[in-house]
Structure 1
Amino acid sequence: MKYRDLIEKMTLEEKASLMSGKDFWQTMDIERLGINSMFLADGPHGIRKQAEAADHLGLNESLPATCFPTAATIANSWNEQLGQTIGDYLGQEAVSQQVNVLLGPGINMKRNPLCGRNFEYFSEDPYLAGKMAASYIKGIQSHGISACVKHFAVNNQEERRMSIDTIVDERTLREIYLTAFEIAIKEGKTKTVMSAYNMLNGAYTNENIHLMREILRDEWGYEGVVVTDWGGSNDRVAGLIAGNELEMPTTSGETNQEIIQAIKAGKIEEELLDENVDRLLDLIFTTEVVFKEPSIDFDFDLEKHHMLAQKAAEESIVLLKNEDNILPLKKGVKVATIGDFAQKARYQGAGSSIVNPTKLDNTLDELERSEFVNIGFEPGFERYGKKNQSKVDQACVLAKKADVVLLYIGLDEVTEAEGLDRSSMSIPENQVELLHALYEVNENIVVVLSCGSVVEMPWINKVKGLVHGYLSGQAGAKAILRVLSGEVNPSGKLAETYPIHYADTPSYHQFPGKEVSVEYREGIFIGYRYYDTANKEVLFPFGYGLSYTTFKYDTININKDGVTFTITNTGHVVGMEAAQLYIGCKSDKIWRAKKELKGFTKVFLKPGETKTVTIPFDDKAFRYFNVKTNKWEIEEADYSIMIGASSSDIRLESSLFVEGTNAPIPYENNKLPSYYSGQAHQISVEEFENLLGYRVPVSTWDRTKPLGYNDTIAQCQYAKGALARFAFKLMTFSHWFLRKIGKRETANLIMMSVYHMPFRGIARMTGGIINMPMLDGILMIVNGKFFKGLNHVIKERKKLRKVAKRKVALD
């Protein structure tokens, strides 16, 4: 241990005190030993440091910081260097606000388009997500502070996220859901990892020995700190055993006492606590060094950072359609600007990642400075879905006078938010009706789409141009206009597949898990791995994006180290091309996806310029996880080496024989026919159990048992206590009523912070105001013992007050 001498000076109580927060965002300090608090702040795409009232839902305003495009947006850049530069600037701003740990990036896989937090994640592909995350981490940590990769792991739905049990086979877990974390940890060398709320195959992630000890610590050699997601601790001692150093936020010492009692009772050795303390001390001491440097400049150049936010947005915008070369718009063209999002941009997600921007570009203001002739603006629709024919009519009157309609549409802040999954893959109906009406008066429509995840587009034949800005940050409005004008040649490519219909998605039948568990029956076949293998037609494939120029791929050469080829800009304007390396195994002994992304690079080319490009093979190029040997193996076979402009646009292809590791074949193909064929859309429970190697657990609640700590408040609907059932009805009525009167944001808050909360969350998230003994009384009331429970709550509350008074007197 690095800090053995210091740890030996601590009392048992002092050591235990370091294992949970001092308050909502800070760790505990020990003044007499020179151990200071660390500050942790949200920040996947900007710093969210709250100066006063703290919350984890983005309700209260934070200190101003640059709002960069979200991870879902930046992934479309396919540019690791850009990611590292953004990380560098994020690190600068974190230092300026004296933040030790920046809680990001988020790298969970986009298993399903409806996951409410997809805007915060990079991709459906683990290789792309891992590489982009590693670049962010390198940039952030270059300033001496720590990034925090989250949420470890398989946290792919928001509904019931604090209690859902994810059932996934080992190979899928390793190849799809852990590979991005592996890259982020090994290549990015992140100092902090955040555990996920959910359970994984029967155990909460921060207590999961297989995940936290066997894989993270032993296999990957991770020596950093694991912090819980806020309120995400279940059994504190089990978490400590698994190597979860820090629980956040504070529990006012309650869970520290659980650790102390476990040691005194001989359930765990004090040496285990010492190891956890040692790793936490290392994070504290290494991240506070930068704040003690006498030459440190706590200011940053606001305008310079804003310009990087603009550059990042420009490189991440995706041109999806350009019929009749309607784009770029000609100088002097008369445009009608329509859509509420043009007036008030949708530029970031909702929830714990909300950033208070240092400045915010506005489309209407920027239009006044453009070379277009903006003949007017109409909102066209109500932002949150309410129909308004008057607004549609006014928009159509304006559209008739224009050469081109710029239509700004997308998903609003309450449709796409942390804590909630989307109910459909559609954009609001009132926006679609506006589009149809505009088409009747002017067919020259260019849609500017703003949303952080996949949407259906049954209306796409009625638009000539489609520019997808995703959630493009505080400078996104100007960036989009520069793409529309041709000042910037779009080079973004999709980091996720756009299916034609939601029903086409491989997880359609198994999302979300509604009660106890969610089964990942599709296995490795998520995103393009499924669509390409099953030959399922899609709207836009993974890696797709148009340009104002054209690129020619030529002259492929392959050796054991990698693949080399040339790219030529065959058009008339400068441009950047994201070239993608896919590899597919030609053997059918082990079921696989038809092709998998194994490398990429982004190339800048002037008109007529040719560059030779090399993409090396790495340790992930040919591997698969063998469940018989329980390790990564290579199958001896011929492999297709493909260079593409997207997953479905392969420009160059060759073959390479690769020697294998001679591992036994792990599967019997007659027992897994759907997996061998790739038709993983609707797999039977029997075939899934053959893949798992055991029976799947019962996925529904046991409605006969009393409710306990890990049951959710939503389960009060069948509680024995009449008061609990009434509370449930009141909660659901309030949610319905608030939505009915247009208070959707408040209605969402009920679902996010109450409805799906496990009862233990009442104690974990109230900072000690309600402790576990009081929660026992609440559960008695819920389970039909009203007077006994009420008496217990009052008695335990009095005890808590006495302890608090004694503490104040001692202080």
Structure 2
Amino acid sequence: MKKEADALLIESMIEGLSLDQKITLVSGASLWRTQPIPEQGIPVLKMSDGPNGVRGDGGSSAASFPVGICMGATWNRALIEMTGVAIAEEAKSKDVQVVLGPTINLHRTPLGGRNFECYSEDPVLSGELAAAFTTGVQSQGVGACLKHFVCNDSEFERHTISVELDERTLREVYLKPFQIAIEKSQPWTLMAAYNRINGVYACSHHGLLNETLKGEWGFEGLVISDWFAAKETIPNALGGLDLEMPGPSQVWGSALRSAVDAGDVPETVIDDKVRRLLRVLAWSGRFDDPEEKPESSIDAETHRSVAYQTAAEGMVLLKNEGVLPLQASNIQKLAVIGPNVKQFRIMGGGSSSLKPHYVSTPLGALSDRFPNMEIAWQTGCPTYKYIPPPEAALLSPTQGGDSQTAPGLRVKFFRDTAQEDLIRERVIGQSTVHASLLAGAAKAMTLEGYYRCESSGRYTFGLLSTGRCRMSVNGQEMIDNWTAPEPGDAFFMQGTREVRAELILEAGEEIFLEMVFEANPEAMFKGLRYGILEPQFEDPISEAVALAAASDACLLMVGTNDDWETEGHDRDSLDLPGDQDGLIERVLAVNPNTVIINNSGAPIAMPWETAAPAILQCWFAGQELGRALVDVLFGVVNPSGRLPLSFPKAIEDMPAAGHYPGSNGQVAYGEGLEIGYRGYAARNQAPLFAF
């Protein structure tokens, strides 16, 4: 009955709208919201990333669930549906009606920058888990959004590249996860990708959007553009795109009105787009509760439990020669070594990142579980691509700080570059500040506050942005990334190169930091990132090896981070960053009771694999990574995860090796159906670790 009533209401609303009002509705109002028409009873629809937690506008904290590849390694539909339920409950706390996830592109190459965000190289596993996730989300009256439709399987030239493939490969491999999810869970929305398919932009692809998706599969929901992916007024309108995001409009608006007036786009086409948007508003209950509410944080115990269970079930024991589970009674001194001990990663980089409610760290979880065990740690070697962020606890907006003040720097957002028209100010503990998220109209921002040094020695500072920026310490300019900023690859390839500077400081010293940022008006996103690297050992690997040799057991935590695995660019190779391979080889030589823990979101090369007695893949496992990891290592939880993709011995072995990354604006999916394990099977070739 409600479906019929909603349909009647929607048709009545469409009849009462002018053409200009209809065109207003099919383009966003801002970064995350659609246009309301209050006089017609049409409220805002609010969306948010994403697939492993709901960021909201970026100010309030959110639950951080394991990333997609870790979910994929569980092979557990029921658990992923529970994760979807929890994410929907988080969405409601942010007054979000549509969660922009799940991400169900395929692991065509292990170098894909967003592999961590996707479930698998297998289309059926991806589709089944996407259906479970979507079912969980939508059971709570929140919409899911399948993305990115279709063939957005790497980040190389993703905004323009044309994926060239045959019809059978397209249907049996790359469309299959979307088809399964749509048929089994009826998602409310779907996101059209940036790339082209056989020369046609995904947002304009009549054959895929109108004929296959809406026609053959009967999709009744809303097709949303990826952010800034809508590029063509008439082709987008006729091709099946329903909502241009974000707002304000770049290609529709007045241009779409002119196209309708000229007879190039029938008004009935606009009506169908509006109808689909109004359906989502009806399904979400927005017509009954139209007022937008402030965002809040709900650190629910049930969400902690789901995050823990997913993290634990997703960890994969790749190799074990009798080392695991560790026996605490046999360990008096435990060495915890590696660049990912202190800078361990719970999520990848890009749009899926968020501010977690809390983080269970490996060291913290070990200390909590074994208060009487001697636990010592060393970094071993640096792996940073950019200078790493400082600990938020060492930052304060006031000198000396106090327990009543949130840790971080005071950030002011301005509408003008003269820094006179203040939009808002707040204390932010994160070193990457997205002005686009926190104050969309900002053209400039300032950061200031105090940093407390914990040790004496040479500190390294780094600064980059999507415009121009500079940093001063104690009133003296130290970094000039303002006068002649050079292009870099941060912020989705829109950022500057990082500029660095060094300073000798003493333990206990408190320095005053000031940063100024001015946005590049041509950049799609506005933001700044700073880092502070503490003094390092002259020979950190030797220090770590000495610790390993003096310990009963060693946990060697290696991997990547969100500098290397992120939306915006692919990895250059399978190699671990820095000299981690050298660190691993030297530690294995002095302590046979060593467990290699790989904290990455994708496969890595393992030239030391034969010498390692135990290898555990822990992925980017969300806010409960520490507790889940310790429980797996010490036998409280069985590591039941199974790889959702193949780990190649070398990058040349991957089935797509001869057809990646592409050239001259095209990439041929020349391996056809032989993606991932299918390719290894077809060639009778063994990977390092099999799907």
Q: TM-score, normalised by structure 1?
A: 0.64
In structure 2, the residue matched to 1:592 is none
Task: Work out the CA distance in 2 between the residues paired with 1:519 and 1:291.
Answer: 49
Task: Work out the CA distance in 2 between the residues paired with 1:428 and 1:182.
Answer: 37
In structure 2, the residue matched to 1:575 is none
Task: Work out the CA distance in 1 between the residues paired with 2:73 and 2:324.
Answer: 22
How far is 1:8 from its partner? 1.6
Which structure has the larger Rg over C-alpha atoms? 1
In structure 1, the residue matched to 2:283 is 286
In structure 2, the residue matched to 1:359 is 358
In structure 1, the residue matched to 2:473 is none
Residue 63 of structure 2 contacts residue 299 of structure 2 at CA under 8 Å; is this kept in 1?
Answer: no
Task: Work out the CA distance in 1 between the residues paired with 2:60 and 2:156.
Answer: 29
In structure 2, the residue matched to 1:35 is 42
The aligned amino acid for 1:249 is P
In structure 2, the residue matched to 1:22 is 29
The aligned amino acid for 2:354 is V
Residue 337 of structure 1 contacts residue 406 of structure 1 at CA under 8 Å; is this kept in 2?
Answer: yes
The aligned amino acid for 1:363 is P
In structure 2, the residue matched to 1:376 is 376
Task: Work out the CA distance in 1 between the residues paired with 2:88 and 2:663.
Answer: 38
Task: Work out the CA distance in 1 between the residues paired with 2:72 and 2:328.
Answer: 29
How far is 1:299 from its partner? 7.1
Task: Work out the CA distance in 2 between the residues paired with 1:467 and 1:299.
Answer: 33
Spell out the pairing of 1:706-717 with structure 2 (5 A cutoff).
none
The aligned amino acid for 1:35 is I
Q: Kindly provide the CA deviation profile for residues 252-307 of structure 1, in whole angstroms up to 9, marking residues without a partner as x.
A: 5762111111111111211111111111111122213497399x998745233122
In structure 2, the residue matched to 1:465 is 614
How far is 1:238 from its partner? 1.4
How far is 1:388 from its partner? 6.5
Residue 164 of structure 2 contacts residue 669 of structure 2 at CA under 8 Å; is this kept in 1?
Answer: yes
Residue 105 of structure 2 contacts residue 147 of structure 2 at CA under 8 Å; is this kept in 1?
Answer: yes
How far is 1:226 from its partner? 0.1
In structure 2, the residue matched to 1:243 is 240
Residue identity over aligned pairs, in percent, reads 36
In structure 2, the residue matched to 1:10 is 17
The aligned amino acid for 1:154 is C
Q: Kindly provide the CA deviation profile for residues 95-115 of structure 1, in whole angstroms up to 9, marking residues without a partner as x.
A: 111001100000001100101
Tell me whether 1:532 sits opposite 2:681 in the alignment. Answer: yes
Tell me whether 1:521 sits opposite 2:670 in the alignment. Answer: yes
Q: Which moved more, 1:305-314 or 1:13-22?
A: 305-314
Residue 332 of structure 1 contacts residue 373 of structure 1 at CA under 8 Å; is this kept in 2?
Answer: no
The aligned amino acid for 2:32 is W
Q: Secondary structure at the match of 1:446?
A: strand
Q: Which moved more, 1:305-314 or 1:36-45?
A: 305-314
In structure 2, the residue matched to 1:323 is 321
Residue 29 of structure 2 contacts residue 247 of structure 2 at CA under 8 Å; is this kept in 1?
Answer: yes
How far is 1:117 from its partner? 0.6
Task: Work out the CA distance in 1 between the residues paired with 2:679 and 2:81.
Answer: 31
How far is 1:389 from its partner? 5.5
Spell out the pairing of 1:99-138 with structure 2 (5 A cutoff).
99-138=96-135
Q: Secondary structure at the match of 1:355?
A: coil
Task: Work out the CA distance in 2 between the residues paired with 1:66 and 1:245.
Answer: 31
Which protein, 1 or 2, shows the higher relative CO under an 8 Å CA cutoff with sep ≥ 6?
A: 2
Q: Kindly provide the CA deviation profile for residues 333-388 of structure 1, in whole angstroms up to 9, marking residues without a partner as x.
A: 13211113122321101000002100111111211122483441111111316997
Task: Work out the CA distance in 2 between the residues paired with 1:314 and 1:375.
Answer: 22
The aligned amino acid for 1:442 is N
Spell out the pairing of 1:419-430 with structure 2 (5 A cutoff).
419-430=568-579
The aligned amino acid for 1:359 is Y
The aligned amino acid for 2:173 is I
Task: Work out the CA distance in 1 between the residues paired with 2:375 and 2:359.
Answer: 23
Task: Work out the CA distance in 2 between the residues paired with 1:366 and 1:88.
Answer: 27
Task: Work out the CA distance in 2 between the residues paired with 1:123 and 1:375.
Answer: 36
Q: Kindly provide the CA deviation profile for residues 124-169 of structure 1, in whole angstroms up to 9, marking residues without a partner as x.
A: 0000000000000001001112000000001111021010000010
Flag the 1:462–1:429 CA change in 2: closer, same or farther, 3 A. Answer: farther
In structure 2, the residue matched to 1:508 is 657
Q: Which runs of 5+ in 1 are unaligned?
A: 51-60, 543-811
Of residues 136, 139, 143 in structure 1, which corresponds to 2:136? 139
How far is 1:311 from its partner? 1.1
Q: Secondary structure at the match of 1:255?
A: coil
In structure 2, the residue matched to 1:263 is 260
Q: Secondary structure at the match of 2:322?
A: helix
Q: Secondary structure at the match of 1:449?
A: strand
In structure 1, the residue matched to 2:526 is none
Q: Kindly provide the CA deviation profile for residues 595-645 of structure 1, in whole angstroms up to 9, marking residues without a partner as x.
A: xxxxxxxxxxxxxxxxxxxxxxxxxxxxxxxxxxxxxxxxxxxxxxxxxxx
Q: Which runs of 5+ in 2 are unaligned?
A: 1-6, 388-535
Of residues 608, 615, 626 in structure 2, which corresponds to 1:477? 626
In structure 2, the residue matched to 1:48 is 55
Flag the 1:252–1:214 CA change in 2: closer, same or farther, 3 A. Answer: closer
How far is 1:520 from its partner? 0.4
Residue 329 of structure 1 contacts residue 484 of structure 1 at CA under 8 Å; is this kept in 2?
Answer: no
In structure 2, the residue matched to 1:303 is 301
Task: Work out the CA distance in 2 between the residues paired with 1:254 and 1:162.
Answer: 16
Residue 95 of structure 1 contacts residue 298 of structure 1 at CA under 8 Å; is this kept in 2?
Answer: no
The aligned amino acid for 1:234 is K
- The size of the alignment, in residue pairs, is 531
In structure 2, the residue matched to 1:711 is none
Flag the 1:253–1:422 CA change in 2: closer, same or farther, 3 A. Answer: closer
Of residues 168, 183, 188 in structure 2, which corresponds to 1:186? 183
Task: Work out the CA distance in 2 between the residues paired with 1:291 and 1:113.
Answer: 46
Residue 73 of structure 2 contacts residue 643 of structure 2 at CA under 8 Å; is this kept in 1?
Answer: yes
Q: Secondary structure at the match of 1:186?
A: helix
In structure 2, the residue matched to 1:697 is none
The aligned amino acid for 2:580 is Q
In structure 1, the residue matched to 2:409 is none
Q: Secondary structure at the match of 1:377?
A: strand
Flag the 1:326–1:24 CA change in 2: closer, same or farther, 3 A. Answer: closer
Spell out the pairing of 1:353-752 with structure 2 (5 A cutoff).
353-371=352-370, 373-384=373-384, 390-542=539-691
Task: Work out the CA distance in 1 between the residues paired with 2:597 and 2:301.
Answer: 26
Q: Secondary structure at the match of 1:475?
A: helix
In structure 1, the residue matched to 2:85 is 88
The aligned amino acid for 1:247 is E
Q: Kindly provide the CA deviation profile for residues 547-571 of structure 1, in whole angstroms up to 9, marking residues without a partner as x.
A: xxxxxxxxxxxxxxxxxxxxxxxxx
The aligned amino acid for 2:177 is A
How far is 1:461 from its partner? 1.9
The aligned amino acid for 2:65 is F
How far is 1:189 from its partner? 0.9
In structure 2, the residue matched to 1:337 is 336
Task: Work out the CA distance in 2 between the residues paired with 1:19 and 1:204.
Answer: 19
Tell me whether 1:348 sits opposite 2:355 in the alignment. Answer: no
The aligned amino acid for 2:665 is V
Residue 237 of structure 2 contacts residue 265 of structure 2 at CA under 8 Å; is this kept in 1?
Answer: no
Task: Work out the CA distance in 2 between the residues paired with 1:267 and 1:494.
Answer: 50
Q: TM-score, normalised by structure 2?
A: 0.74
Q: Which moved more, 1:331-340 or 1:343-352?
A: 331-340
Task: Work out the CA distance in 1 between the residues paired with 2:13 and 2:324.
Answer: 68
How far is 1:37 from its partner? 0.8
Task: Work out the CA distance in 1 between the residues paired with 2:251 and 2:685.
Answer: 53
In structure 1, the residue matched to 2:70 is 73
Q: Secondary structure at the match of 2:99?
A: strand
Task: Work out the CA distance in 2 between the residues paired with 1:524 and 1:254.
Answer: 36
Spell out the pairing of 1:170-209 with structure 2 (5 A cutoff).
170-209=167-206
Residue 160 of structure 1 contacts residue 514 of structure 1 at CA under 8 Å; is this kept in 2?
Answer: no
